[in-house]
Structure 1
Amino acid sequence: MSPDAIAAIGLHDEVQPAAFQPAPVVGGDELPFGRLVTEGLRAVDQRLAASQSDLQALALGESRNLHEVMVRMEEGRIAFQLLLQARNRVLEAYQDVMRMQL
């Protein structure tokens, strides 16, 4: 392979960082933390419900695309794991604060 061909292949393998999207602004103030948590929980719940309904449709023979069902199930699992890890970090930070001596 020529060096130019290798360089061209390398251009396509670059991973582009996700664009930073700041929190939505409402009336000049950022959204409250509780509302962000609630929206995050709702989004994870919707992903899990969608994967559950897809799985039920597959079991009933109504879905013919196993690949999409498996992808949605994996997306739901990953979203739930992310939520669980965020919860663990928040709980750990809370416990650290409670252990601090004043």
Structure 2
Amino acid sequence: MNVVPVNNVNIHPSAGGQPLTSKTKTSFSKVLNNALDKVNQSLTKSDQSMTEIASGNVQNLHNAMIDIQKSNILLQATVEVRNKVIDAYQEMMRMQI
């Protein structure tokens, strides 16, 4: 997303049209790290749920299965995003200057 200068104030589309402040400024790497941390936490929770199911100590089978499916979907989405980024990078490398 592009930062749009308006009257010498930087407006970022994701900031809801509000001026950028130290609270709203985030780097791409921080956003990416946060997203990957959430995926990792979900996978860890899914592993715990699978262990509970396998050992027979599951308290709520319904919630355990939901956790497992959520982590599966998050992992699939992460892999697809990675594939798209790699495709875009390869396409840029094929461009002639």
Same fold (TM over 0.5): yes
Q: Superposition RMSD on alpha carbons, in Å?
A: 1.8
User: How many residue pairs are counted as aligned between the two chains?
Assistant: 80
Give the CA deviation at 1:46.
0.3
Q: Determine the C-alpha separation between the residues in 2 that align with 1:96 and 1:27.
A: 34
Can you list the C-alpha shifts for 1:48-98, whole angstroms capped at 9, x where unaligned? 100100111122221132211111100000000010111111111111111
**Max Rg structure:** 1
TM-score (norm 1): 0.71
Identity of aligned residues (%): 31
Q: Determine the C-alpha separation between the residues in 1 that align with 2:84 and 2:63.
A: 32
2:74 alignment counterpart: 79
Runs of 4 or more above 3 Å deviation: none
The structure showing larger relative contact order (alpha-carbon pairs under 8 Å, at least 6 residues apart) is 1
1:54 alignment counterpart: 49
TM-score (norm 2): 0.74
